[in-house]
Structure 1
Amino acid sequence: MTTFTAEEINAQPAIWRDWAGPLAEQAAIIRDWIAARAPSEIWLSGAGTSAYIGEVLARQMGGNLRPWPTTDLVSVPGLAFGAKGPVLSIQFGRSGDSSESVGLMDLLDAHRPDIDRLQITCNAASAMGTRQGPGPGETRALILPAATHDRGFAMTSSFTTMYLSALACLDPSFDAPEVLPRLADAAQALLPQLWSIERAVPQRAIFLGSGALTGIARESALKVLELTGGRTITQWDSTLGFRHGPKAAVDVIGTMVFVMISPDPQVARYDLDLAAEVRRQFGAKAVMTIGKGCDIDLTPTGTPADPALYVLPAQILAHRWSEALCKNVDDPFHGMNLTRVVSGVKLYGWQP
């Protein structure tokens, strides 16, 4: 069955190759702007998958990056709005029109118009793509290629390309024209392997990773939960954090544990130890490792772009399991409790 979701997953290598040059040009301008504005804090905001972009970036780069989901900033603005010194708010949004995306812009207009904004979106016509703040803070928008505005329910190409685009805007050492084609080659080699994996649907799927891959584990868990319509219960954690209680979710019957093996040899030792431990306790079939030379064998580029490669297994496994469950992959919740774009959320005014 051909689906929008499958097309969008498979399109990622070509999108990254084609976007590398234009991204490098625009990111250089944005980096100079950020340097001139000299923010003491950079907020990374979004809702759901878009929020996880910020989580991965903050774990990848550290420094003054603060992952603040829009769902937190809109409901409890006091958590961050008292920040001193210059602030840059980077907001991610596939549609650019979700309730919380607009809500955060409204709150910044009303209470922190001094904060600079960089809106990264896949929808040029959206509020995020077109709306300017009242100032004195400055607003910039980075509009991704139209192909990243996924038509399927789940965010796939939008997630990876927004992540890579933000990386180019924040990391002066990230050479998009050099790295993205290599990343695309690695993804292109991986895709056939992933589409050939057996479609047996687990009752539970657990994703684990260290550092930036902890954020990818979270996004991977969400992809499977979404596309199976909640039929496969998912969990995510850091590799070392998993032993501290969450490991209780592993069941001998019907649980798959996916351990992302870091490209960093020091970090990988912890990942491999955990995978071996789960195998000893629950059997070899309970674990799949993801990484170079692993059960799911991928070739990292050795750059901060690699998290985009590690999320591909969950995107495709979620699609295959959704099909096996006879779900509408592009709309698993048709007429039910979730929609592709969250709208209609009642937002309340805030008084500091």
Structure 2
Amino acid sequence: MTSTPTLPETATWAEIHAQPDIWAAWADSLATQSREIRDWIAARGIDTVWLVGAGTSAFIGGIIAAGRSDLRFEDRASTDIVSCPQDCLTASGRILVVQFGRSGSSSESIGVMELLDKHRPDIDRLHITCNPDGALATRPAPGPGQMRVLTLPEATHDRGFAMTSSFTTMLLSALACLTDFDPALLPRLAEEARGLIGSLAGDTCAPRPERAVFLGSGALRSMARESALKVLELTAGRTVTQWDSPLGYRHGPKAAVNGQTEVYVSLHPDPQTARYDLDVAEEIRSQFPHVRVTTIGRGGDIAVTGTGDARVDAVLHVLPAQIRAAQWSAELGLPVDDPFQGRNLSRVVSGVTLYDWQQ
């Protein structure tokens, strides 16, 4: 039996649907600003880029770092830098720290800035944030390292608990600043996203599973991680989730699959990689005939054309999880914009004790 949960008008639901219009409207401004940032990076002689964030913002770094670039990308969560500064702040070379933040004021965002101010003021910084009033946007760097700030459109500063438009727009913006991604493609991406969102939101869906698994290869692995987090967050932990690469999932984690599991497998745009993705999807279907397995991508159950660059196409592959997470949250009778109702988890992580590091 299938149903389509009726969602009340919530900020989260509106923010999911707003993404295509945000991307299309941002294209021209992003083209100009990203060109200036790329020129600045080249002039500064940067060879290594640290991609820094916490939670969803950290997964942006994982997606970008999985692709090819003339720059050396290092995926470094701000939570790791703050807790283990000894592992990275002694690094040499021409480094650019790119920090991502929806609010720009989480404890770890501030912690990274304080560590750089005190121990590595020579390192250049690029802050990509959705909040013009947050610390990432307003706090200056002491120098001699230089700083640039890219502030996204106001609509990306999600009011809901879960990051949706903030995640996808920060990812696309970073790709424009750090890779050869052309913002002129944003209207095309937006058009495909509108169709996907409309189809998924209007389609019937199976009742909420007890467990949901998201798998993706290469850059889509971190997208799968974000998908799993969206469902876990919006269902307040009542839907247990997993994420992995399709090949990695065979090596033990598949033990979690039972009759109350739903599995989503993203098909990588590279045909060679997609063969492995499809093999694992078929294997799970044959081993667990009562489990619903949904493929996402070219030729998938949820068709995604995309651009052929998995890093860019991640913004399309994450849409099914955003939609289903909101629907399943509503099915549980939770307030979608605040599923924890102010307890245990909050929209912005704050109050973390930051300890001084004696180098």
Contact 1:93 1:120 in 2 (8 A): yes
Corresponding residue of 2:275: 269
From 123, 128, 131, the counterpart of 1:123: 131
Aligned to 1:152: 160
Instruction: Please state if 1:211 is matched with 2:223.
Output: no
Q: Which moved more, 1:329-338 or 1:23-32?
A: 329-338
Matched, 1:25 2:21: no
Range 296-305 or range 79-88, more displaced: 296-305
Q: Displacement of 1:28 after TM fit?
A: 0.3
User: Retained in 2: the 8 A contact 1:129–1:143?
Assistant: yes
Give yes or no for the alignment of 1:66 onto 2:74: yes
Question: Which one of 242, 245, 254 corresponds to residue 249 of structure 2?
Answer: 242
Contact kept? 2:260, 2:291, Cα under 8 Å: no
Summarize the alignment of residues 1-352 of structure 1 with structure 2, pairs less than 5 Å apart: 1-61=8-68, 63-171=71-179, 173-177=180-184, 179-195=185-201, 196-251=203-258, 253-283=259-289, 285-303=291-309, 304-352=311-359
| 2:156 and 2:165 in contact (8 A); partners too | yes
Letter of the 1:117 partner, please give it. Answer: R
Q: Read off the aligned partner of 2:188 and give its amino acid letter.
A: R
Give the 3-state SS of the residue equivalent to 1:240 in structure 2: helix
Distance 2:40 2:290 in 1: 51
Shift of 1:199: 4.8
Distance 2:156 2:181 in 1: 21
Offset, 1:228: 0.2
Cα displacement string for residues 151-200 of structure 1 (whole angstroms, at most 9, x for unaligned residues):
000000000000000000011x32112x1111001101111221124151
Matches of 2:100 and 2:349, distance apart in 1 = 14
Structure 2: 5+ residue stretches without partners: 1-7
Across the aligned residues of Structure 1 and Structure 2, the Cα RMSD in angstroms comes to: 1.0
- In 2, Cα distance between the equivalents of 1:134 and 1:292? 48
Residue ranges of structure 1 left out of the alignment (5+ in a row): none
How far residue 292 of structure 1 moved from its aligned partner, in angstroms, is 2.2
Partners of 1:284 and 1:174 in 2: how far apart? Answer: 41
Per the normalisation by structure 1, the TM-score is 0.97
Aligned length: 349
Rounded to whole Å, the distance in 2 between the matches of 1:39 and 1:186 is 35
Cα distance per residue 1:224-258 (max 9 Å; x no partner): 0000000000000011111111111111x211111
